[in-house]
Amino acid sequence: MSTLWQRDEPVDPWFEAFLAGEDRELDLQLVPHDCRASLVHARMLQDLGVLSTEELSAIAAILEEIREHAERGEFRIAPDEEDGHTAIENVLVARCGDAGKKIHTGRSRNDQVLTALRLWEKEQLAALLAALDAYVDALDTARARQGHVAMPGYTHMQAAMPTTVDVWLGSFAAAAADDRRYLELAQEAVDQCPLGTAAGFGVPVFALDRARTAAELGFARVQTNPLHAQLSRGRTEALLLSACGQAMQGLNRLAADLLLFSTREFHLVSLPEALCTGSSIMPQKRNADVL
C-alpha cells in the first residue's frame, strides 16, 4: 500500500524508516484523541452537508470502536501507513467506502495531528497537576506531624544554622507552588484548538465552525491565526517540557536530601524498607535505589 502523499516513484525503505523513526509506536498514544477530534469534525461536516446522517452514524460507530481498541492496546499501525491518522482513515474507508474519505474534507494532517497532540497534552497536564497537588499534600502532612522537630541547616555541605523540619519541607512545598504556576502557563498555551487551520492557511472554501469544534473538544478557545497555529508546533511542547523540568528540579533536590539524610553519617531520615533494596553480602545495607 502506498502512503497518502506517495506518487509513482517508490521511496527508499531505509530513508523511509529513518524519517519515521518511532512515529508509529508513539502515535498509538494519540489514536484515542485523534478519534475524538475526528468525530467532532465529522459532526460539523454533517451540518455543512458533506456527510449524510447515515454516513455520520457509521463513521461515529467505527471511530468509537477504534478508540476502544487503541485504549486496550489492540490497535495497530502498519509500516506503510506511517501514522495513526492514515491508519484510522484506512479503517474508515475499508468499512464505509467513500464516506471514510469524506471525513478528511476541510482539514490537513497538519491540524489533525496538532489537535490530537494538544488533547493528549491537556490530559497529561491534568494528571501532572493532580500529582503535584498530591505531592504537596504529602509534604503538608509530614510538616504537620514533624514540622516542629529541630534539625541542622546546611550550606556547602556543612552544618550552618539551626532550622526545623517545617522550613526544610516547606521549601519543597513553596517550590511546588511555583511549579504549579509554570504548568498552568503551559496549560494555557496548550488549551487552544488548532483544528481548521489545515496546513497553515485555513480552509477558505468551507465555512468551518471552529468555535463549535473547539468547544466540543473542551478547548478554552480557538487558535485564531492558522499560520501561527502550525508554526507553534514545538513551541508549546518546549514550554511544557520547561515547566516539567522546573518541577523535576524540586523533586531532584528532595531525592538528593533524602539520600544524604538517610545515611548513617547524617541519620536524620529513616526510609521504609518497602522503598529500599539490600545487599547479598552486607545485611546492614538499606539502598534507596528508587531515589
The residues that are catalytic are: 156, 279
Distance CA 157, CA 275 (A): 25
How far CA 80 is from CA of 17, 32, 249, in Å, comes to 10, 20, 41
Report phi then psi at 251, rounded to 5.
Answer: -65, -40
Beta bridge partners of 164: 150
- The contacts found for 62-70 with CB under 8 angstroms, 24 or more apart, are 62/91, 62/92, 62/95, 62/96, 63/35, 63/38, 63/39, 63/88, 63/92, 64/35, 64/39, 66/31, 66/35, 66/91, 67/31, 67/32, 67/35, 67/36, 70/28, 70/31, 70/32, 70/35
Distance CA 195, CA 103 (A): 13
| Residue 130 per-residue DSSP state | H
Residue 257's contacts (CB-CB under 8 Å, 6 or more residues apart) are 168
- Please give the helix or strand (H or E) that residue 169 lies within, else none: helix 165-190
Three-class SS state of 257: helix
